[in-house]
Structure 1
Amino acid sequence: MKTELDLNDEVVALERAYYDRIDWEVQENANIDISYGGFVKFLLDKLLKKESVLLEYLPEKAVRMHFEGDIHIHKLPHSLYLPYCTGWSYKKLLLSGLVTPTMVSRPPKHADTAVSQLVSFFCTAAQEWTGAQAVSAFDLYLGAFVEHDRPSPKAVKQMLQRMLFDLNYPTRIGFQSAFTNITVLLDTNKQFLEEDAVVGGKIVGKLGDYLDEAVLVAKELFSLLIEGDALGQPFSFPIPTLMVTKNFDWEGSRWDGLTDLIFEALSKRGSAYLLNGNAAEVESLFSMCCRLTLDMEKVMNFELNSILEDVGEELRKSRGARGLWAVPDATGSIGVVTINLPRIGALSRGEWDNFISLLDERIDVAREVLRFWRGRYKQSLAKGLMPLTRRYLGHFNGHYSTVGLVGLPEAVANFLGRPSLWDELNRSEIEEAVALMKKMVAYVRKRVEEFEEEDGCLYNVEEVPAESAGTRLAILDREKFLKEFEAGEILIPGGDPAPYYSNSVIPYYASVPISLRAEWEGEVQREFTGGVIMHLFLNESPDPEALKKLARRIIENTDVIYFSFTPSISVCQKCDWHSVGVFDTCPKCGSNRIDVWSRIVGYYRPVRTWNAGKRAEFKNRATYGRESW
């Protein structure tokens, strides 16, 4: 048993590790800057994220497999008490106003108040969830207020500018920004346009009545994203998602110049994600989950039990990709347990039956943890640890239990015994690997669909971002397979001392043409039922018109569900110069005080704040320029 003296020594040692940045976990999360709040979070994580502590809560086998690196239980130690990510109903907030245990606001009557309450809601609710939060149709809901107030475009821009700055200040536990996402719909989803618009807590027609105002909101939002902050740094949050369906205004004939502005922002800032409505069946997903949100409003009237069962069944029957960044409303994930696929590939060495046996063992352990989490979070809700969630959501019926996968490219390379697979890029071998990855994901998907029927709750399979998990698991595997690693018999990218595993289908260190990357990614992405994304990393700012044509080709000709364009952005801390590209010194003033910004996983942060594994991954990324289009 640990004595008080032992604990004191440990705290002192952890303090030293934090100050000197000896432990890689000091920079585990790029959204957390060095600060007292960051130190307290690091201290809490280290003291609670221990085998002896976790054994008090979780099954012994799960704890052992986590520490040995067979699986990764995400968001520890906070996931002992709080769930992962959620989508909120903006409509519900607008109808009821922001009600917290300490302060009560009436439903907003004006546009600036509607935005202010959303910002305050996000920042407060971030203390009840360990991951991302989202709202859908931000543009349409705000459009009704713009019509009511009739503000000038400058006033709309000022209102949105306050939102962007406020959401990027470090207000969350650990001196970090709230991880937030907004969906911009416009008229891409006809069914959503029939939803109620709300002003002052009252229904004021349909969202589709305010499309012109929604276009104005979106135009001012994207113009601000192009500008960035006072230094020209990009805004990390909120991450906008653009729904791209057959109704997207590719020709720029309906949205008053917005389409050109969107692709200028993507070219200069990588400002948004694109959700491919052709591949993801967005309209049916939204109609289903809009119903779920509406049904949940009846919870207060005790009318919902049978309806929730029906909606849960609809969600279980929907096998399209879902759940990334908690889109749409009232869905999300209670938690994630990720399986270390490269290790299974290395251990099974081409024997599919062995691979499946090892995979099954880990899937079963993940299920056990996720079942425990669901019961645990219901208790957190009942005991008052989540007051906003209790009021604005009330339950987790629409939230998935998520089995995560990491390192698919390394897993197939190890399974096939071809550690140089992604360097040699033999097309027939890559196509064999893609088919094998598809088979792996499909098997996990089949298992979790069985769990849905047996457990009576939702499950999905996600390609996890793995900001820290990819590094932690690779470090453990380098130790476990040191002899094989040094002999070049297995693939662990990044080498010593900063290994990592991929969070993509086609690894970002593979120099693959965009057309083939999108084709192969799309083949496997459709097997996922949770979050999955393809990033295209840019080494220059392409012509927006050329970028628009490329985006359209990807959307209309591939099965890629979610993707981004990600230019690296260099910002001089001395003279405020900034440009797309990676620069060591400022070409304007000669200073070496340059920050390079890029997406570490889904969000932009300066590369200097990344953990060692992700910094190594950044250096190895294959990038695209104008010759790639």
Structure 2
Amino acid sequence: MKAELDMNDEVVALEKAYYDKIDWEVQENANIDISYGGFVKFLLDKLLKKESVLLEYLPEKAVKMHFSGDIHIHKLPHSLYLPYCTGWSYRKLLLSGLVTPTMVSKPPKHADTAVSQLVSFFCTAAQEWTGAQAVSAFDLYLAAFIKHDKPSPKAVKQMLQRMLFDLNYPTRIGFQSAFTNITVLLDTNKQFLEEDAVVAGRVVGKLEDNLDEAIMVSKELFKLLIEGDALGQPFSFPIPTLMVTKNFDWNGSKWDGLTDLFFEALSKRGSAYLLNGNAAEVESLFSMCCRLTLDVEKVKNFELNSALEDVEEELRKSRGARGLWAVPDATGSIGVVTINLPRIGVLANGDWEKLLSLLDERIDVARDVLKVWRGRYRQSLARGLMPLTKRYLGHFNGHYSTVGLVGLPEAVANFMGNPALWDNLNKGDVEEAVSLMKKIVSHVRKRVEEFEDEDGCLYNVEEVPAESAGTRLALLDREKFLSKFKANEILIPGGDPAPFYSNSVIPYYASVPISLRAQWEGEVQSEFTGGVIMHLFLNESPDPEALKKLARRIVENTNVVYFSFTPSISVCQKCDWHSVGVFDTCPKCGSKRIDVWSRIVGYYRPVRTWNDGKKAEFKNRATYGRRESW
């Protein structure tokens, strides 16, 4: 009876905390708006994300370290039952149609149905994964339907417009949008072009047969991304990724003006990510991914049980950094456990061997959690909690167990006893810091590679987005090291009351020229084998041609794997005026009802919806304009 009363009191207290926004976790995720669905998610999080509950499932040391802030176990409490992120095979969906436990659709015969089924698939499967979903070669697979139907550009634009709006409506648990990514390939990957094109569930030639139609699809998509919604607000999802390889049409000689449209969209909207094929070995990665999708079919039919061993070996051999959301077909991550690096930097106090000892302890704990997660997700799949995943994927052998890192720049500043490192920007000190960061990531990578043979599954190392983890861990460290924090002896950026940790190599609050930022980022990014990205935040809309030249320099002269251009966008809620830049007052109608949109981590959301730590990070961001030289 007492337990029931305690639960009642707790629910009442949580209701008040939600309505009054007393708890910072009410807005920990900018993709969740205030709503009944958001309240139910908040309530579930608070009631299940407790030490007593987690101890029933996870090792005691891991639970203690999570709540104390040594590590962060992501996506709790939903990660108790569901894995993190995945790439799907669009080809498989087109061959089989959308089959759910309640409704069955035949393979699509027309372009609008092919788009509609993908949207419905994303929104339905979002209930089975806690993070991002992706499909590769959206442009090429849809192009076969365009050739078959011969729609006008206006009709293509209309079907893509429906897709953009439908994917941004809050249909997911917690009143949030499904987190989705699509890759636009065109002819940047020659081996992928040799894959089968599909219409009405039948093979109709090769993807390379429809390049003109793929260009048409991409043109209409990026025109829509430039327009935004009815108020001129940017679309958060899907996040397109452009594959930049040696075949990329920098000179505009073969894609009918599409390259210029890409960079107009990047200049005005920051609409896409760029994956550097020179640094990420995209050709071999996508060759592996095509094979993986085919081998999964054989294994599901028990035709070749040894195929998975070959698949895993291919994945191990292609340990290039893959970017955050450009997840290849049928691969992904089952879950992430992140290590609080800044705390280790403080505790090690300049002693490298002590740092490695502390780091190894946390890596081992992360491994223990990830082993439990993999076993639980296999149970979820077998017990029917993931019906779409069971049909369209079947297993998690191609999915990595991910060890995440957060706060690299703060960690090395604390380790070096130089909390002003990123303010002073002494070149020698920064180069020492970059070398230390590279050694840290390399050490973690080598450790998790050892786990693969021992555990019989795949591991990788990711620079986590840390939308909420960066704030939670910084808050805990401020409390733990309060006297050092007040004396400015350690670096916890954001100050009081909104500290945060960085989700980058070079912190975004450091005023570093683009050339040096890209050089230093690339040196460390190449050590990651999971997600990693460099954002370049823009305070105005640059000339698209100049932006294209800058992107080409980054691709050809650095080891940066994945990067974005991110202009801030102000939108008037009264008169629909919008422009690149940060405005407090609408210059057209004088209204103060201005929303400023920017990337909180990987996706655009209005800053007013961000948690306090990320708001502080936004205010401290170093931005670039037209006068910024390479």
TM-score, shorter chain, exceeding 0.5: yes
Letter in 1 for 2:301: N
1:270 alignment partner in structure 2: 270
Query: Shift of residue 315 of structure 1?
Result: 0.8
* Alpha-carbon distance between aligned partners in 2 of 1:589 and 1:537, rounded to the nearest angstrom: 27
Within 5 Å, give how 1:416-455 maps onto structure 2: 416-455=416-455
The offset of 1:298, in angstroms, is: 1.8
CA contact (8 A) 1:323 1:331 kept: no
Structure 2 counterpart of 1:470 = 470
1:183 is paired with a residue whose SS is strand
**Counterpart Cα distance in 2 of 1:441 and 1:310:** 27
1:556 counterpart residue number: 556
Give the aligned residue type for 1:441: V
Is 1:597–2:597 an aligned residue pair?
yes
User: Distance in 1 between the 2:174 and 2:324 partners?
Assistant: 24
Match of 2:199 in 1: 199
Distance 1:394 1:326, change over 3 A: farther
Map of 2:522 onto structure 1 = 522
How does 1:109-148 map onto structure 2 within 5 Å? Answer: 109-148=109-148
Structure 1 residues 497-508: aligned runs within 5 Å: 497-508=497-508
Q: Alignment partner of 1:242: what SS?
A: strand
Instruction: For residue 501 of structure 1, give the secondary structure of its aligned residue in structure 2.
Output: coil
Q: Which amino acid aligns with 1:269?
A: R
Give, in angstroms, the shift of residue 397 of structure 1. 0.5
Q: Work out the CA distance in 1 between the residues paired with 2:359 and 2:304.
A: 38
Counterpart residue type for residue 419 of structure 1: P
Mapped partners of 1:402, 1:464: distance in 2: 10
Q: How does 1:610-621 map to 2 (within 5 A)?
A: 610-621=610-621
How far does the alpha carbon of each residue in 1:81-121 deviate from its partner, in whole angstroms, 9 at most, with x for none?
A: 00000000000000000000000000000000000000000
Q: Secondary structure at the match of 2:235?
A: coil
Length-normalised TM-score, structure 1: 0.99
Q: Deviations over 1:309-363 (max 9, x none)?
A: 1110111122211362252100000000000000000000100010011001000
Amino acid of the structure 2 residue aligned with 1:341? L
* Partner secondary structure for residue 305 of structure 1: coil
- CA deviations on 1:470-519 (whole Å, 9 max, x unpaired) are 00000000000000000000000001000000000000000000000000
Q: Name the counterpart of 1:320.
A: 320
**Aligned partner letter, 2:77:** P
State the secondary structure of the residue aligned to 1:493. coil
**Which residue number corresponds to residue 17 of structure 2?**
17
SS at match of 2:627: helix
Q: Which residue number corresponds to residue 365 of structure 1?
A: 365
CA contact (8 A) 1:326 1:332 kept: no
Paired residue for 1:247?
247
Q: Indicate the residue corresponding to 1:396 in structure 2.
A: 396
Deviations 1:7-53 (A, max 9, x none): 00000000000000000000000000000000000000000000010
| Correspondence 1:90-489 to 2 at 5 A | 90-322=90-322, 324-325=324-325, 327-489=327-489
Contact 2:538 2:568 in 1 (8 A): yes
Amino acid of the residue matched to residue 7 of structure 2?
Answer: L
Code of the residue aligned with 2:291 in structure 1: it is R
Tell me which residue corresponds to 2:580.
580
The whole-number CA distance in structure 1 between the counterparts of 2:222 and 2:374 is 38
Q: Which moved more, 1:22-31 or 1:320-329?
A: 320-329
Tell me how far apart the structure 1 counterparts of residues 576 and 319 of structure 2 sit (CA, whole Å).
Answer: 47
Aligned to 2:492: 492
Counterpart secondary structure, 1:579:
strand
Equivalent residues, number: 629
- What whole-Å deviation, never above 9, does each CA across 1:43-82 have from its counterpart, x for those lacking one? 0000000001000111000000000000000000000000
Q: Distance in 2 between matches of 1:473 and 1:358?
A: 16
**Quick check: 1:181–1:325 contact (8 Å CA) kept in 2?**
yes
Q: Which runs of 4+ in 1 moved over 4 A?
A: none
Q: Determine what percentage of the aligned residue pairs are the same residue.
A: 89
Tell me which amino acid in the other structure corresponds to 1:44.
Answer: L
Letter in 2 for 1:56: E
CA–CA separation in structure 1 for the residues paired with 2:216 and 2:308? 37
Measure the CA separation in 1 of the matches of 2:113 and 2:38.
31
Report the Cα distance in structure 2 between the residues aligned to 1:304 and 1:105, rounded to whole angstroms: 29
Q: Aligned-pair distance for 1:568?
A: 0.1
Instruction: Say whether the 8 Å CA contact 2:275–2:323 is kept in structure 1.
Output: no
Mapped to 2, the partners of 1:189 and 1:316 lie a distance apart of 21
CA distance in 2, matches of 1:613, 1:415: 23
Q: Which amino acid aligns with 1:126?
A: A
For 1:604, give the aligned amino acid.
Answer: Y
Instruction: Tell me how far apart the structure 1 counterparts of residues 528 and 507 of structure 2 sit (CA, whole Å).
Output: 17
Once residues 612 and 107 of structure 1 are traced to their aligned partners in structure 2, the CA distance between those partners, rounded to angstroms, is 46
For the Cα contact (< 8 Å) 1:460–1:530, is it kept in 2? Answer: yes
Query: 1:2: how far off?
Result: 6.0
Contact 1:323–1:333 (CA under 8 A) maintained in structure 2: no
Separation of aligned partners in 2, 1:448 and 1:477:
26
Q: Is 1:85–1:133's contact at 8 Å kept on the other side of the alignment? A: yes
CA contact (8 A) 1:157 1:224 kept: yes
Aligned partners of 1:507, 1:469: CA distance in 2, in Å? 16
Shift in Å, 1:300: 3.5
- Cα separation, 1, equivalents of 2:482 and 2:620: 22
| Partner amino acid, structure 2, of 1:130 | T
Q: Is the 8 A contact 1:504 1:534 kept in 2?
A: yes
Taking the aligned partners of 2:293 and 2:116, their CA distance within structure 1 comes to 22
Runs of 5+ in structure 2 lacking a partner? none
Aligned to 2:39: 39
TM-fit CA distance, 1:436? 0.4
TM-superposed CA distance for 1:304, in Å, is: 3.4
Q: Partner amino acid for 1:148?
A: H
For residues 442 and 168 of structure 2, what CA distance do their matches in structure 1 show?
38
In 2, the alpha carbon distance for the partners of 1:244 and 1:353 equals: 40
1:353/1:463 CA distance change after superposition, 3 Å: same
For 1:421, give the aligned amino acid. Answer: L
CA RMSD of aligned residues (A): 0.7
* Contact 2:323-2:533 within 8 A present in 1 as well: no
Residues of 2 paired with 1:548 and 1:325: CA distance?
22
SS at match of 1:628: coil
Task: Structure 1: give runs of 5+ residues left out of the alignment.
Answer: none
Give the match for residue 83 of structure 1.
83
- Matched residue SS, 1:325: coil
Of 184-193 and 305-314, deviating more is 305-314
Q: Please give the alpha-carbon distance, in whole angstroms, between the structure 2 residues aligned to 1:448 and 1:264.
A: 41
Asked if the contact 1:463–1:503 (Cα under 8 Å) also holds between the matched residues in 2, the reply is yes
Residues 273 and 564 of structure 1 are in contact (CA less than 8 Å); yes or no, is this contact kept in structure 2? yes
